[in-house]
Amino acid sequence: MGSVWSLFGYGNHGRTDDPDPVTGLTSRDRYHVKTSWAGVMKNPTENGVALLILLFEKYPTAKEVFPFRDIPNSELAKNARVKVHANAVVYAIASIVDAIDNVDLLVPMLEKVGTSHGPRKVSEEQFLQLKETIVELFSKFMKKEEVEAWKKALDVVMSVINKALKTYLDGH
């Protein structure tokens, strides 16, 4: 019976599998990203710190581009500078989530992220490491379909960021 209802659009709350022509994300993907993000935002500082710690455990050299690179991993969770940066990362992702339905806002926002990280010597590989770390962290508490939507969204996000980063680096 559920399949009959879904044929007529009942129960999907307007979510479809029609991909956006620019991002390739479906309304269902965007829905999963937005609704699952609400759980992260219940405790942005703690989740941001957990993300950074996991990133540095998986990719120790990633820590070299951060101002708190000399702080031992065991002390990161208590450090105010780390918490401030963790909040900045989480709220940057929140901005992306907020703009996910508006490509005219989303793409320039992501390009700015790529360009602004060029002078800080952040590499394309480090952005991809961040993506892998986000997916790993989210896999611990999100549903499979939410994680899959995040993977697709992060592919788009990192593609735009890294393209802008590469353009910046090629010019400098």
pLDDT of 9: 43
Q: Where are the beta strands (DSSP E) in 95-135?
A: none
- 58 closest CA partner among 116, 150, 147, 125: 125
- 33 closest CA partner among 158, 146, 109: 146
- Least confident stretch, 1-15, 78-92, 127-141: 1-15
pLDDT of 82: 97
Residue 79: exposed, middle, or buried by beta-carbon count in 10 A (0-12, 13-18, 19+)? middle
Q: What is the mean pLDDT of the chain?
A: 92
pTM confidence score: 0.89
pLDDT in tens, 89-141: 999 999 999 999 999 999 999 999 999 999 999 999 999 999 999 999 999 99
pLDDT in tens, 146-157: 999 999 999 999
Non-local (6+) Cβ contacts of 49 within 8 A are 76, 77, 82, 83, 86
Rounded Cα gap, residues 160 and 172, in angstroms: 19
- Is residue 16 in some structural domain? no
Q: 16 by DSSP, 3-state: which? A: coil
pLDDT of 8: 41
- Is residue 13 in some structural domain? no
Q: CATH code at 64?
A: 1.10.490.10
- Is residue 159 in some structural domain? yes
The backbone torsions φ and ψ at residue 26, rounded to the nearest 5 degrees and listed phi first, read -85, 165
pLDDT band at 3 (very low <50, low <70, confident <90, very high): very low
CB distance 11 to 93 below 8 Å: no
pLDDT of 16: 73
Non-local (6+) Cβ contacts of 111 within 8 A are 160, 161, 163, 164
- Is residue 74 in some structural domain? yes
Instruction: Give residue 141's domain range.
Output: 25-170
CB distance 164 to 115 below 8 Å: yes
**Average of per-residue pLDDT across 42-59:** 97
The backbone torsions φ and ψ at residue 96, rounded to the nearest 5 degrees and listed phi first, read -65, -45
Question: Is the confidence at residue 12, as pLDDT, over 80?
Answer: no
- Is residue 6 in some structural domain? no
- Is residue 19 in some structural domain? no
Q: Where are the beta strands (DSSP E) in the chain?
A: none
pLDDT band at 14 (very low <50, low <70, confident <90, very high): low
- Is residue 57 in some structural domain? yes
Question: Is the confidence at residue 50, as pLDDT, over 80?
Answer: yes
- Is residue 9 in some structural domain? no
pLDDT of 17: 81
Question: Is the confidence at residue 54, as pLDDT, over 70?
Answer: yes
Domain count, the chain: 1
